[in-house]
Amino acid sequence: MTEPKQDTGTLHQQIFLKGSKTYYNSSRIFPKAVRKDVFTLYAFVRVSDNLVDDVPPEPEEFRAFRQRWRNALAGTPAGDMVIDPFVELGKRVGFDPQWTEDFLTAMESDLDHKPCNTVEDVLKYTWGSAEVIGLFMIRILGLPEAARETAGLMGRSMQFINFLRDVDEDFRLGRRYLPLANTGLPGLTPQLAKEHEAEFCTFMRGQTSLYSQWQHGAQLGYGYLPWRFRLAVKTASDLYNWTAEVIMRDPMEVWRRKIKPSKVRIFLTFVGNLLYIPPPLPNQGRP
């Protein structure tokens, strides 16, 4: 007897949960229809990312995946439970296909990773890997074009805190996303961090401050979000801010564990945001 075919929505939910518990739990706050679209988006980006993050990576499968997406966009269904729903979503809410191309280009660059030596290198990567995700989200949520800048900053800052949190994991994958130019650090490895602990901690705190600047800019856009959408986005953002606080207190913690909020912290953060009132948008209320 053949097993029943898995429901697409269930598959997307499972991919999301396995990939990021913080994002998943925050996204559950969205209304059902929006949540379904967010799961569809995340399933596509997670599967793409997994193909280049597997050990060993799967470059041919990744490139085939990218071509199937292009074919589906042009009108030839991929017969894929991740690609086809993503294409349908994009056409329905108005994704710019270049955003997906930029995202996939960033993912493909991980197959032949070149270390990020400057902030400019970081920004080039975070545009495709994260800022366009913010643009996808404003289309899913039906937000005004004025929200683009803050949505992009939200994606950038969240990606950057991942770089700080995952420095050990990235080292083991042979990658470095943190810019070492003019820092005096010879590299980012557990051994070098121990040998140059003071310099490493100064560097990581400086990078965490940069994250905080971008995150502050992102938070200026909370006023664009209806209450329930804001509750989901701010809960995720606050959990990343907690991660930044842990790193700021003791940067060496990134070598000891993957810093992740507990279920209790996630719940308490959600409850604490129920009555949050955002500051007014620029020029809001003026004649």
d(CA 154, CA 213): 11
Indicate whether 284 belongs to any domain. Answer: no
Domain count, the chain: 1
pLDDT, mean of residues 63-89: 96
**Measured distance CA(131)–CA(96) in Å, rounded:** 13
pLDDT tens digit string along 5-28? 568 888 888 888 787 777 777 888
Q: Is residue 285 part of a domain?
A: no
Instruction: Determine the structural domain holding residue 188 and report its residue range.
Output: 9-272
Q: Does residue 63 lie within any of the structural domains?
A: yes
What does the pLDDT read at residue 6?
67
pTM of the model: 0.87
Q: What is the per-residue pLDDT across 237-286, written as a single tens digit (0 to 9) for each?
A: 999 999 999 999 999 999 999 999 998 999 999 999 998 888 787 665 43
Dihedral sign (CA 103, 105, 110, 115): negative
- Give dist(CA 66, CA 270) in Å, integer: 36
The overall average pLDDT reported for the chain is 91
For the residues 164-181, what does the mean pLDDT come to?
93
Does residue 156 form part of some domain? yes
CATH of the domain at 114: 1.10.600.10
Asked if residue 170 belongs to a domain, the reply is yes
Quick check: is 188 in a domain?
yes
pLDDT at 71 over 60: yes
Segment of 58-67, 104-113, 240-249 carrying the highest mean pLDDT: 240-249
